[in-house]
Chains A and B, each alone.
Chain A
Amino acid sequence: DVKVTQSSRYLVKRTGEKVFLECVQDMDHENMFWYRQDPGLGLRLIYFSYDVKMKEKGDIPEGYSVSREKKERFSLILESASTNQTSMYLCASSLRPSGRQFFGPGTRLTVL
């Protein structure tokens, strides 16, 4: 069965801290995505990656960076967390960029 896992379900950090969110998929998918979900704003794409060491900016990349050193792992980094980055973060993977995406369980991040 297809599996996307995220390192934490809930995380509480302080303003200014560096935050790492990790995502691992076991489907050998080329494509991986990071979204954030906020009420009324839907799923907003932060960054995506088509291959190892490749990354592309999504719709809201400001304040975030990513790393993809291995095919199965895609990390989202908040260099200096701010309160407006409090959100639900969702990772997804897919075989093709335009194809069905498989989502992880999400990380609820609170920045105080």
Chain B
Amino acid sequence: DQQVKQNSPSLSVQEGRISILNCDYTNSMFDYFLWYKKYPAEGPTFLISISSIKDKNEDGRFTVFLNKSAKHLSLHIVPSQPGDSAVYFCAASARYGGSQGNLIFGKGTKLSVKP
């Protein structure tokens, strides 16, 4: 059973507009969430993270929102640029609860930003 779900396999957005990528999780023990970005033929690179004590974290054009009651997080990219076109993976773990469980990844959302 998937503990981290990215229900949209793909998303297409116009340059300059907002991109919103969504992620849902089922394990209430998860307290640490990350987003990775992956270009073809490259390894994933870390983008932004958030712990469960916060509901928002911002880094430049990237903002992650966490809604613990809904077990939902989202990544907002504003404004979107063609270079943002990539696959975005959501990941989660029970990091602060003392568990030794691994980071669990979603299946990814392919973002295409059209010029």
Q: Which residues of A contact B (CB under 8 A)?
A: 4, 9, 33, 37, 40-43, 45, 48, 50, 88, 90, 92, 94, 96-106, 108
Taking a contact as CB atoms under 8 Å apart, the answer to whether A42 and B44 are in contact is no
Which of B53-61, B66-74, B76-84, B96-104 contacts its partner? B96-104
User: Which of B44, B91, B108 lies at the interface centre, i.e. has the most chain A CB atoms within 10 A of its CB?
Assistant: B44
- Which residues in A have their C-beta under 8 angstroms from that of B94? 98
Q: Which of B36, B44, B93, B105 contacts A98 (CB 8 A)?
A: B93
A-B contact pairs, 16 of them (CB 8 A): A40-B9, A41-B107, A42-B105, A92-B43, A97-B101, A98-B100, A99-B32, A99-B103, A100-B34, A100-B46, A101-B91, A101-B103, A102-B46, A104-B43, A105-B43, A106-B41
A88 closest partner in B (C-beta)? B41
Judged by a CB distance under 8 angstroms, whether B49 is at the interface is: yes
B94 closest partner in A (C-beta)? A98
- CA A100 to CA B49, docked complex, whole Å: 9
Taking a contact as CB atoms under 8 Å apart, the answer to whether A43 and B34 are in contact is no
Q: Which of A43, A90, A98 contacts B99 (CB 8 A)?
A: A98
